[in-house]
Amino acid sequence: MDKMFQDKVVMITGAASGFGAMAAERFATQGAKLGLSDINGGQLVAVAEALRAKGVEVVTDVVNVADETQVAAHVTNITETFGGLDIGINNAGIGHDVRPLQFLTTDDFDLMMNVNAKGVFLCMKHQIPLMQKAGAGAILNVASAAGLVGSGHLSLYSAAKHAVVGLTKAAADENATRGIRVNALCPSFSATPMVDEMADMVGDRAGLSREDAMTHIASRVPMRRVSRPEEVVQAMLWINAPENSFMTGQAIAIDGGLTAV
């Protein structure tokens, strides 16, 4: 029996750690060929080598998603290697210091928008023409629960992730009759390196250990815990599954109830 993504070509940005690295592993187990990128070349190589050791076909590039030349070259490398592109997982993103808006800088603003919003725009800009030509494709943009509600002390991150949701809905509308589905995934706090860094910032200011700071962060979630990365990544597979063919333009929250209250 064929696997869910047998011989499908899947592009994943931010693939060196966190959701991206786990997504690469899970799509690979379902038969996908992978185009992986990250700005962290060392960790990216380690992820790719582990996958190749299991017989997975992988192409990698060190990419800053805010740089259109690098994004375009990566997409070209994937398509020249595998002959096309079926799924784009636009996952690369960064956070900022946890503090009120007035203490953030214009440099913070530019960085959040360049990586978290423009990075998604550039990836879609180069993914969509290939999918239009093929008459099929699926794109999943990793936004955040902070892109669905106001998120105090994370204002610029929240603004950029709101932009991701807006880009997702517009691209879905533009391509709904072209065989291309475009959705967004909106996780809340998860046990990833980004949230570990957030916990360290919170802990340093409040004099808490990382464990206690994580407990404080989790207290904002109705389920009173952060998610396990696999709880988020399983949704990536479901959203992009061929059988899930009538979903487009949606921002799916995997958030322990955070955006429900």
Just list the catalytic residues.
157
Task: Output the DSSP codes for 124-149.
Answer: HHHHHHHHHHHT-EEEEEE--GGGTS
What is the spatial distance between Cα 185 and Cα 35, in angstroms, rounded to a whole number? 20
CB distance 127 to 237 below 8 Å? no
CB distance 64 to 73 below 8 Å? no
What the block records as the tokens of 113 is 């928008």
CB distance 43 to 16 below 8 Å? yes
What is the spatial distance between Cα 137 and Cα 95, in angstroms, rounded to a whole number? 29
For residue 62, the surrounding DSSP H or E stretch is: strand 58-62
- The 10 Å Cβ neighbour count of residue 207 is 8
CB distance 64 to 41 below 8 Å? no
What is the spatial distance between Cα 254 and Cα 233, in angstroms, rounded to a whole number? 10
CB distance 35 to 77 below 8 Å? yes
